[in-house]
């Protein structure tokens, strides 16, 4: 993690806000902090996420600023819209400084036991595929069905995620059961295209297959069950749309397979 980026973030946010680096991606750095961006102190029992898109030196400064502003605003707007959707779980957005590339949101999830890291779906499935645990546990089944339902809700309402990997789904323990939240809408969009939906489903299926291959078929079946539940809850129209999405999903799979055969 480059110290330069942390220094840059601190220079904009000021010395009051202590940052702990959580992740660094290609486009953004993600920090956590106990300081609320605008409320007076006294809220330190809560944690917040600060997502920062630092300037890219290889881009022309004015183009870079325009891009940063557009992406930060785009992600914030989408998050704010999704937050209002009944039943859909996404982090609550707290602040956005599009000019400087900052998004603040509530911190979701917790540390998993035994050093399995943070409670995203990937780590959760790792934990359950460890040898002395039962990967077919009801907890896994119930959780994956709920994850599928979240994706179903997102798609049914006309949105696509754009980067639906198992680390972009975090699990929050609510009264003893794991509730999935969809995060990282940097590539998300308002889209009712079956192609985008098929690709979302495919990306998640590949993510599960590549990290949890021994149980992937079962896991993916549970995810699809949850996804289908949502569509099936909308009568004949839901059924028809589900058929369309699943058939496109299958086409995307076949394309993916062809590509991997050619190399
Ligand atoms: N609201 C949040 N609550 C808890 N952890 C989060 C939250 N947002 C992001 N993270 C953590 O930071 C990581 C990277 O954040 P993400 O938004 O996915 O950025 P990137 O574009 O770098 O992938 C996530 O995989 C997750 O572990
Ligand atoms: Mg991510």
pLDDT classification of 195: cutoffs 50, 70, 90: very high
Spacing, Cα 169 to ligand 2 middle (Å)? 9
What three-state secondary structure class fits 49? Answer: strand
Indicate the burial class of 63 (C-beta count within 10 angstroms; 0-12, 13-18, 19 or more): exposed
- How many whole angstroms separate alpha carbon 94 and alpha carbon 81? 13
Q: How many CA atoms lie within 13 A of 98 on its CB side?
A: 11
CATH topology of domain 113-262: Transferase(Phosphotransferase); domain 1 (1.10.510)
Write the DSSP assignment of 151-163 as a string of letters: HHHHHHTTEE-S-
Spacing, Cα 168 to ligand 1 middle (Å)? 7
Spacing, Cα 235 to ligand 1 middle (Å)? 35
Q: What is the rounded average pLDDT of the residues 35-63?
A: 91
Indicate the burial class of 258 (C-beta count within 10 angstroms; 0-12, 13-18, 19 or more): exposed
Q: What is the 3-state composition of the chain as percent helix, strand, coil, each rounded to the nearest 5?
A: 50, 15, 30
pLDDT in tens, 73-127: 999 999 999 999 999 999 999 999 999 999 999 999 999 999 999 999 999 999 9
Active site residue 64: no
Per DSSP, 170 falls in state E
- Determine whether the shortest distance from the Cβ of 188 to ligand 1 is under 6 A: no
Residue nearest to atom 17 of ligand 1 (CA): 184
Nearest to 119 by CA among 82, 58, 171: 171
> Of 7, 64, 132, 163, which is the active-site residue?
163
Can you tell me which atom of ligand 1 is nearest the CA of 29? Answer: 22
Quote the pLDDT of residue 26.
83
Query: What mean pLDDT is reported for the chain?
Result: 94
- Determine whether the shortest distance from the Cβ of 224 to ligand 1 is under 6 A: no
What three-state secondary structure class fits 192? Answer: coil
For residue 75, give the ligand nearest its CA.
1
Q: Which two tokens stand for residue 163?
A: 């980067």
**CATH number for the domain running over 3-106:** 3.30.200.20
Asked if 113 contacts 87 with a C-beta cutoff of 8 angstroms, the reply is no
Each as own residue / partner, the long-range contacts of residues 14-17 (CB below 8 Å, 24 or more positions apart, any chain) are 17/50
Residues of the chain with CATH 3.30.200.20: 3-106
- How many whole angstroms separate alpha carbon 127 and alpha carbon 115? 9
The most confident of 124-138, 163-177, 207-221, by mean pLDDT: 163-177
Can you tell me which atom of ligand 1 is nearest the CA of 22? Answer: 12
Alpha-carbon torsion 99, 109, 171, 38, what sign? negative
pLDDT in tens, 199-253: 999 999 999 999 878 899 999 999 999 999 999 999 999 999 999 999 999 999 9
Residue nearest to atom 13 of ligand 1 (CA): 23
- Determine whether the shortest distance from the Cβ of 109 to ligand 1 is under 6 A: yes
Quote the pLDDT of residue 262.
66
Spacing, Cα 234 to ligand 2 middle (Å)? 31
Length of the chain: 263
- Our mutation pick for probing the ligand 1 site, out of 165, 170, 172, 188, counting the most ligand atoms within 8 A of Cβ, is 170
Residues of the chain with CATH 1.10.510.10: 113-262
pLDDT classification of 132: cutoffs 50, 70, 90: confident
Quote the pLDDT of residue 137.
87
């Amino acid at each position: 993690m480059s110290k330069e980026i942390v220094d840059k973030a601190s220079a904009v946010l000021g010395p009051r806000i202590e940052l702990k680096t959580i992740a660094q991606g290609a486009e953004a750095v993600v920090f956590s902090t106990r300081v609320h961006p605008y409320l007076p102190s006294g809220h330190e029992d809560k944690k917040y996420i600060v997502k920062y898109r630092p300037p890219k030196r290889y881009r022309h400064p004015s183009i870079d600023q325009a891009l940063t502003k557009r992406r930060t605003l785009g992600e914030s707007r989408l998050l704010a819209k999704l937050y209002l959707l009944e039943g859909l779980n996404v982090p609550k957005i707290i602040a956005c400084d599009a000019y400087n590339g900052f998004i603040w949101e509530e911190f979701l999830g917790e540390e998993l036991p035994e050093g399995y890291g943070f409670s995203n779906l990937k780590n959760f499935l790792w934990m359950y595929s460890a040898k002395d645990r039962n990967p077919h546990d009801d907890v896994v089944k119930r959780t994956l069905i709920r994850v599928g339902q979240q994706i179903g809700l997102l798609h049914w309402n006309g949105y696509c995620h754009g980067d639906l990997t198992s680390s972009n789904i975090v699990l929050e323990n609510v009264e003893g059961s794991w509730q999935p939240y969809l995060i990282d809408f940097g590539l998300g969009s308002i889209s009712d295209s079956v192609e985008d939906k098929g690709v979302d489903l495919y990306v998640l299926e590949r993510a599960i297959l590549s990290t949890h291959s021994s149980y992937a078929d079962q896991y993916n079946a549970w995810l699809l069950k949850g996804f289908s539940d949502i569509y099936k809850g909308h009568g004949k129209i839901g059924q028809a749309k589900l058929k369309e999405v699943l058939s496109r999903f299958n086409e995307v799979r076949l394309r993916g397979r062809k590509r991997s055969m050619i190399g």
